[in-house]
Structure 1
Amino acid sequence: MTADLRKRSFIKLATLSALSASMLAACGKKEEAAPPPAPEAAAPTAATSEPLKAAWIYIGPVGSAGWSFAHDQGRKAMEAEFGDKIKTTFVESVPEGADTERVLRDLVSQGNKLIFGTSFGFMEAMVKVAKDFPDVKFEHATGYKTADNMNVYDSRFYQVTYLAGVAAAHTTKTGTLGFVGSFPIPEVLRNINAFTLGAQSVKPDIKVRVVWANTWFDPPKETEAANSLMNGGADVLLQNTDSTAVLQAAENAGKLAFGWDSDMSAFGGKAHLGSVVVDWSNYYRKTIKSVFDGSWKGNQITRWGVPEDQNQLVSVSGQIPAEAKARIDEIKAKMKDGSFDVFIGPLKDASGKERLAAGVRADDDWMGKIDFFLPGVEGSLPASK
């Protein structure tokens, strides 16, 4: 400003020198005689905020169906909805354990501020890394441990596996159903027991045989387990594994089966009775919006199911009789309004021990500790992983 005033002094009359001096003094007191704002005053309007960097890690390949595919569909939905406000990335086929921790730390180093871990076995690594990076938000699917910067989100698959059990009971000819299990953790045991209860609501003497694949994604092992069940008399199969192998094995053997995690109707031919699916997009939308508006907080556990339209039985086959479809719709409506629940006492395990007293509705704590088979389930129950 001083230079500007000096320039003016050369072109003004000498008689104005005293006035120039008084203007300089006034400027020192921050009064109104300051020169017009400099052009750079408009610069802030050109500034743009950085997009939220969010990452997903998957236990298996994304592929075109299954668990990781369903999560990735949710990720893509967020890209479509939020546009340039978000930048997403994913890492597929991440082994549980030390590799999980390595991948998480690498994603943090890349500047990701929101990380979704989509397998139960990622839990311990996520807890450890979350502690080291309190400014990063972590979201863990299907676990139970939280922190100030880590939440848990889950899906009530057992509600839809109950509906699948109703459908299976109406289509079986042998009275024996099969279930390909991944690992004997509460999440999987809930589904096995719910499938059994749904089937027994139609045919009380029906049996459900279980073979463990001991993997989340391994098509050859899943096929082997499915064939073992069918060789043992099971003619309708459900699974808790991620590939289409069980459904395709049923198709090859002329049996029936359900898709899992995503709509698998395109892979099962005549074997496909329906698919037990999960839509993660509603939860991802809620979470990302809470990060944007500053309302996100840790130590939260969110479990959604049929009432929130997160879980559904889709692409229901015409092989399921109209009577069964009507019954499924009736139960689904009661699940939505809260008048029906899958696990209501009295419930005894396969050994006859009471697990839930008469009239008691199971809460999440009870369901998170399931370590038993209900009557009618046949198979070994190894120690959980």
Structure 2
Amino acid sequence: MKTSTHNRRDVLRACGGAFGATAMLLAAPRASGQSAPSTPGSLPDPGSSNLGVGVLYCGDRADFGFNQAHAEAARALTGLPGLRLEEREHAAGTLAATAEELLGPQGCRVVIVTAAGDALPGLLAQADAHRDTVFLFSGAPLDRDRLPINTGFFEGYIEEAQHISGLVAGYASRAKTIGLVASHPAPDVLRCVNAFALGARRADPAAALRVAFVGESATPRQVAEAARALAEGGADVLAAQLDGARPVCEVAEAHGILCCGLHTDLSAFAPQGFLTGAEWAWEKAYAEAVALIAAGKPWKHLRQGGFDQGFVRNTAYGPAVAVEARAHADAARMQLANGNAAVFRGPIQDNTGRTVVAKGKALRGGDAELGRMVWLADGVTEVAR
């Protein structure tokens, strides 16, 4: 998962928790002092017969990871009538220029950005200068930003799918030791690591999770080396929480052990040992937003959710997943989807024995406390590298 320095929950505090309301967005003035359009439905012109939709990827769209999940959703847009899809990959520091190409020569009226990162302020300025184009971002804006009316944000609670993957892994691990390769200990990463661990210990209270943090810029080779070290250290299930989990699955298969995927379907890279995976399911978010915008109808400027909104899913179970594990995972997924359960329901202790979620308290996807997470759950150990 591409994790930026922009806390995805800051926007809720900055806008008084009402960012989804059209009235709040209409109140945000243009940086130039001009008035905003009267209704979000006026953007773009619904009379356009060939709506250009640009998708701006933060890397290779065939990365078997974060970007590919977005590319699969973009392909689903091609089924909408009167739509022209333009896709661009950008290197570091070129995002704004690539966005300008989509706006100018390509004439896109909707631009979807998979991960803005530190370029977000500049992109918001571009959106403000191109009020006839809608900018949709995967993630959340900077704290206290005044947001142009033609911007929207969507996020999925991937930790819910990681929780189910962890539950399946807990059933499958005979060594009671699971290894997980993660990027860095930022809140959005920690919540997924902890969600996985809580799932594993839900299946087997004796299960232990060993985590290796490799850094945001780790190469596939470095990821593979970390996964190999975890396998050689006794883990019989491997998982990941970083942009590309393919090397982790390949190492697991080479060692004859089990694995869980991430972002997109990675079962082909571990045909014998693949259990399940935590996937983004952006098809619905993409298609619904673009269809409403194209029709000139009001559209939500903030969309958040997990299983309940169909924004995340789990990869189909592999042959190594037992019947009991499947039944428990399916039931747990349904409980999360209908709101009868929460991944972070107290009492929860961290790995120092401190209570971090009190008994009777539940932290759900939109809770600001999850965006400030700094702890590792009981049973999780960081591996020195």
Structure-2-length-normalised TM-score: 0.79
CA offsets, 1:28-74, max 9 Å, x none? xxxxxxxxxxxxxxxxxxxx844111111222312273222221111
- Determine whether 1:118 maps to 2:110: no
Paired residue type of 1:86: L
> Cα 1:369–1:219, aligned 2, differ >3 Å: closer, same or farther?
same
1:133 to 126, 130, 135: 130
Structure 1 residue 184 and structure 2 residue 179: aligned? no
Shift of 1:217: 7.5
CA distance in 2, matches of 1:170, 1:254: 17
The one of 272, 275, 295 equivalent to 1:273 is: 275
List alignment gaps of at least 5 residues for structure 1: 1-47
Q: Cα gap change, 1:223/1:172 in structure 2, threshold over 3 Å: closer, same or farther?
A: same
The structure-2 alpha-carbon separation of the partners of 1:368 and 1:128, relative to structure 1 and needing over 3 Å to count, comes to farther
Instruction: Tell me whether 1:77 sits opposite 2:79 in the alignment.
Output: no
Aligned to 1:261: 263
- The reply on whether 1:107 has 2:102 as its aligned counterpart is yes
- More RCO (CA 8 Å, sep 6+): 2
Q: Structure 2: where are the runs of 5+ without partners?
A: 1-46
Query: Which residue of structure 1 aligns with residue 85 of structure 2?
Result: 88
* Between structures 1 and 2, the one with greater helix share: 1
Tell me, yes or no, if the aligned pair for 1:55 and 1:107 is still in contact at 8 Å: yes
The structure that has the greater radius of gyration is 1
Task: Give yes or no for contact 2:265–2:277 (8 Å, CA) kept in 1.
Answer: yes
CA–CA distance in 2 between the matches of 1:184 and 1:108?
Answer: 36
Task: Give CA deviations for 1:169-223 in whole Å, capped at 9, x if unaligned.
Answer: 1111221111111233332211100000001112223221111232378321221
Question: Aligned in 2, Cα 1:286/1:131: closer, same or farther, shift over 3 Å?
Answer: same
Identity %: 24
Equivalent residue runs for 1:1-385 within 5 Å? 49-63=48-62, 65-79=64-78, 81-83=79-81, 85-95=82-92, 98-110=93-105, 111-119=107-115, 121=117, 123-145=120-142, 147=147, 148-215=149-216, 218-240=219-241, 241-296=243-298, 300-363=301-364, 364=366, 365-379=368-382
Distance in 1 between residues matched to 2:319 and 2:175, nearest whole Å: 20
TM normalised by structure 1 equals 0.79
Q: How many angstroms does 1:284 deviate by? A: 0.6
RMSD: 2.4
CA contact (8 A) 2:272 2:319 kept: no
Cα 1:297/1:315, change in 2 over 3 Å: closer
| Amino acid in the other structure paired with 1:189 | L
Q: CA 1:312/1:297 → structure 2, altered by over 3 Å: closer, same or farther?
A: closer
- Does the Cα contact within 8 Å between 1:217 and 1:243 map onto a contact in 2? no
Letter in 2 for 1:371: V
The letter of the residue matching 1:374 is A
Structure-2 separation of matches of 1:371 and 1:93:
31
4+ residue segments displaced more than 4 Å:
none
After superposition, the Cα gap between the structure-2 partners of 1:312 and 1:52, relative to the gap in structure 1 and judged at 3 Å, is same
